[in-house]
Amino acid sequence: MCVTCGCGDAEGLDTTIDGGAMTGHQHHRITDAHNDDHLEGLGEPRLIRLEQDLLGKNKKLAAANRQFFRERETLVVNLVSSPGSGKTTLLARTAEELRARFPIAVIEGDQQSSLDAQRIRDAGVPAIQINTGKLCHLDAHMIGHAVEDLDLCKRGVLFIENVGNLVCPAEFDLGEDHKVVVVSATEGEDKPLKYPHMFAAADLMLLNKIDLLPHLAFEVDRCHEFARRANPDIEILEISAITGAGLPRWYDWIERGLESVKTAPNSEQSTPHAN
């Protein structure tokens, strides 16, 4: 958790939400409880309370986001990984190849820069960039603000590319339908053992860069085994975002998820998030 890892976003840190050429620039003041300046002298009981308060608030905002998405019959997929897994390359190709089937929008999360959002826009899909500054994850508050500036069509898919990190994003519900963890063959098969909470929180693991397997000492079966130790129910697909291997199964998974959202019961009108 951020209250113990020291990533906190000092009180009132500017988290930038940048819609690029389509919507201009918006700056929102994001104020959270996990401030590393506040940690000095805190004992364990207060740290636990701080963590509970932070997650409790995020849970309420995530529920409001989820209701907002349900009303629009929008499938929301939260892509998580460590840096360098290839998830932006995967997302750009996915967006380009599926945009003719149903509406797609993307929220990109990085500590700095808008390069990834621009890559998605270049693929012909609307994208909003969130720069988190010192924060190592997205939270429900940020997503709620971002969707206010995103032209989110009904009966489509919203992809959220989280900050490259396999720790804190496991704890923060954004209002998504699924967390999808991307692991590349270049990272080593022991990632699920090192970061079990993320794999326990995910519904799907994408093993990316399988085109490089002939050149690597990577044991695919052991990676599957380790992932299922963390989460016996996790689904696993092997893909290459470069060659396209395995991508039809990934696209089928997305379409099945979208169909399930379309048939889910809707509730009363709501706003994306509460303050």
- pLDDT, tens digit, 9 for 90 and up, residues 81-111: 999 999 999 999 999 999 999 999 999 998 8
Distance (Å, rounded) from C-alpha 118 to C-alpha 121? 5
Residue % of the chain over a pLDDT of 90: 67
Q: Report residue 71: phi and psi, to 5°.
A: -60, -30
Nearest to 250 by CA among 189, 200, 203: 203
- Encode pLDDT of 42-79 as tens digits: 455 655 565 667 788 999 999 999 999 999 999 999 99
The tokens for 181 are: 């963890």
Give the chain's mean pLDDT. 84
Distance (Å, rounded) from C-alpha 15 to C-alpha 55? 19
- Of the candidate ranges 25-39, 74-88, 124-138, the one whose mean pLDDT is the lowest: 25-39
Q: Domains in the chain, ordered, with CATH? A: 2-262 (3.40.50.300)
Output the CA–CA distances (angstroms, integers) from residue 190 to 12, 126, 186, 267, in the order listed: 37, 35, 11, 42
- Of the candidate ranges 2-11, 25-34, 138-147, the one whose mean pLDDT is the lowest: 25-34
More confident call, 186 vs 4: 186
Distance (Å, rounded) from C-alpha 37 to C-alpha 225? 41
Per-residue model confidence (pLDDT) at position 45: 60
Contact 108, 91 (CB under 8 A): no
Q: How far apart are the first and last CA of the chain?
A: 22
Task: Say yes or no to pLDDT of 26 above 70.
Answer: no
Is residue 106 within a helix (H) or strand (E), and if so which, with residue range?
Answer: strand 104-110
What is the pTM assigned to this prediction?
A: 0.82
